[in-house]
Amino acid sequence: MSQASDAHEKQIEYWNGEGGTLWRARADKTDVMLAPVLAATLESAAPRANETVVDIGCGCGASTLALAGKVASDGRVLGLDVSAPMLALARERAAGTPNASFALADAAIHPFAAQAADLVFSRFGVMFFGDPTAAFANLRRALKPTGRLAFCCWRAPDENDWMRVPLRAVYAHVPRLPKPGPEDPGPFSFASPDRVTRILTGAGFRPPCMTPLDLMLDISGGGGLEEAVADASRVGPASVALSGQPDDVREAAIAEIRKALAPHAGPDGVRLKGAMWIVETTPGAAA
């Protein structure tokens, strides 16, 4: 197995195991935290009535449902995800939304109806492919020649306080995580505009327009400081750094997270900066 396909398989395993279970349990809070990101990405993607849309890495379905509302009853949205637990919740949430359907499938190789989609959309669901150029070439084949691709992704970890602040707190007590390689899949793997442009043009898209989006995100998802502390120790890079540590080290690190997040807590949540790209492009001439 090549390094890229090994990395891809590990992602599928993660999203069907611990990752999927955690995201599913936290889905309502994640949707509160990411609601302004979804709104901004939808505004850029501009889904219209009657359009056919594919939502890549749709997870628990919040974006699929929002898209279904935008394309109205004559439009169609297909939410696609590799995670069985997350997709099961998406299906539950979409009962009563007849123009939304779902497929448990790998977007990198799924045999999409050729040139049928007006819009391929994603909220943070396209950074996990082992071979992203091949995966985006597959997504491009799903798009009509007049279609468009629009997604959001994170910029560099250093710019994302929502992740950096709890992780730095934890590092007072546990060893640093190894840095991912420049081509490894992961949440921050689309931070570099050069890399994203190389991937998308290599996949047959035009050079993308990448617009920075900076938002203060409520990492507690409406739950307050203790929720934010518990979540930071359960999900994301700080939780990875904590995994396998003895109880006393974990307790000290969690106390450190609380200390670091407390100054950001207020009446409208625990707000830290999120730094993203909104990426938009269209199929290239050869598509």
Ligand X SMILES: C[S@@+](CC[C@H](N)C(=O)[O-])C[C@H]1O[C@@H](n2cnc3c(N)ncnc32)[C@H](O)[C@@H]1O
Of 253, 265, 233, the closest CA to residue 170 belongs to 253
Which of the stretches 56-64, 191-199, 225-233, 260-268 binds ligand X when contact is defined by CB under 6 A?
56-64
Kindly state whether residue 203 participates in binding ligand X, applying the rule CB under 6 A. Answer: no
Kindly state whether residue 123 participates in binding ligand X, applying the rule CB under 6 A. Answer: yes
Site for ligand X in 143-172 (CB under 6 A): none
Residue 92 phi/psi, 5° resolution?
-60, -45
Q: Which is nearer to ligand X, 128 or 188 (CB)?
A: 128
Give the number of other CB atoms < 10 A from CB of residue 214.
12
Give CA–CA dist 262/241, Å, rounded. Answer: 21
> At its nearest, how many Å lie between ligand X and the CB of residue 81?
4
Q: Which is nearer to ligand X, 81 or 227 (CB)?
A: 81
β-strand pairing of 265-266 with 143-154: unpaired
> At its nearest, how many Å lie between ligand X and the CB of residue 57?
3
How big is the site for ligand X, counted in residues (CB under 6 A)? Answer: 23
Which residues does 260 contact at the CB level (< 8 Å), separation at least 6? 165, 166, 168, 169
Give CA–CA dist 282/149, Å, rounded. Answer: 6
**Which residue among 65, 77, 107, 149 contacts ligand X (CB under 6 A)?**
107
Applying CB under 6 A, which residues contact ligand X? 11, 15, 30, 34, 57-60, 62-63, 80-83, 86, 106-108, 123-125, 128-129
